[in-house]
Amino acid sequence: MPDEAPDYLVVNRAWWDERAPLHAGPGSTYDLDDFRRHPDRLHAIELAEVGDVAGKRLLHLQCHIGTDTLSWAGRGADVVGADFSAPALEVARGLARDLGLDDRARFVGSDVYRLPEVLDGAFDVVFASWGAIAWLPDVARWFRVAAHFIAPGGIVYLADGHPTTWIFDEYAATPADLRVTYPYFTTDAPLVYVGPDETGSYAVPDAATAHNATHEWVHPLGAIVQAAIDAGLVVEMLHEHQAVPWPVFPFLLRGDDGLYRMPDDAPSFPLAFSIRARKPAG
Ligand SMILES: C[S@@+](CC[C@H](N)C(=O)[O-])C[C@H]1O[C@@H](n2cnc3c(N)ncnc32)[C@H](O)[C@@H]1O
């Protein structure tokens, strides 16, 4: 008998399956017509911290519709993108064909925890970013999967929203309205987000959608670092950033670099983090 998927997978997959075609369609901030003309969506943060990927094998976990995956391919990497959403991967494969990158970009469908059952191979870079780990109950298990795919001497790189931002009311209208609302430490049960304001998504906020619940977990920075160490990796970089690629709070201001920051007169706290950990060369 096949394993039954846990509730969170069913709920979150329905959310993403519905949104992937919307993200690829008109009015989405992913703007795929623009991407086909300028296929490079990586931010200064990950470009500086991952470094040159030319000639490297790169695995992108939770790759969504493949814009970042194909941006790495455009910079010379041989890439595999993995995601549990079939509609997202359909968009990614179409984009790869449109860009003539399908000889260097492959996409694999799987729950990330089960990826070692369906994908072989070793990679120089395992990459995930911006909205990757909140969907998962166990960050240590995520790092074990990432470490499984890393060749000796290769790196795991993760950039994501900072767990500190998670504790505050996400609808706060000004920095002074930030109210501690959610736990910082990982709960056994997921944080269930659902409500009248939860239709659409960060990329298509006005879209009418039917599947509007998500099951998410916050992962404290300490747990993330410990997960990398426990997976046998050597942490060589941990950065906290005052900028993040999406408006975590409505009052953040977008810069020309596509990153959102606190207004100048507001107190600072970290909006994003990035970690790079290496598998010892052996
Ligand atoms: C916010 S997106 C990734 C962000 C990416 N940087 C982007 O904007 O293109 C999160 C992705 O995680 C995928 N995802 C969520 N839970 C997953 C799981 N358990 N296994 C594999 N993929 C998952 C979703 O399908 C979605 O495509």
pLDDT in tens, 97-109: 999 999 999 999 9
Q: What stretches of the chain show up as alpha helix (H) in DSSP?
A: 7-24, 32-37, 44-50, 67-74, 86-98, 115-118, 139-149, 163-166, 221-230
Centroid of ligand 1 to alpha carbon of 85 (angstroms): 8
Mean predicted confidence (pLDDT) in 226-250:
97
Note the pTM of the prediction, 2 decimals.
0.97
Q: Residue of the nearest CA to atom 1 in ligand 1?
A: 131
pLDDT tens, position by position, 122-154? 999 999 999 999 999 999 999 999 999 999 999
pLDDT in tens, 66-105: 999 999 999 999 999 999 999 999 999 999 999 999 999 9
Quick check: 148 and 117 in contact, CB under 8 A? no
Q: Domain 7-278 class?
A: alpha beta
Q: Does the Cβ of 156 fall within 6 Å of ligand 1?
A: no
Structure tokens at 131: 């909205």
Torsion angle, CA of 156/157/161/165, rounded to 10 degrees?
A: 70
Three-class DSSP category at 271: coil
| pLDDT for the residue 104 | 96
Which of 3, 12, 16, 47 should be mutated for ligand 1, with most atoms under 8 A from CB?
16
Distance 212 CA to ligand 1 centre (A): 16
Which residues, in sequence order, are CB contacts of 177 under 8 Å at separation 6+? 169
Q: How confident is the model at residue 221 (pLDDT cuts 50, 70, 90)?
A: very high
Domain ranges of the chain: 7-278
Q: Are 179 and 168 in contact (CB under 8 A)?
A: yes
Question: What are the distances in angstroms from CA 193 to CA 134, 188, 199?
Answer: 12, 15, 11
Amino acid 193: pLDDT: 81
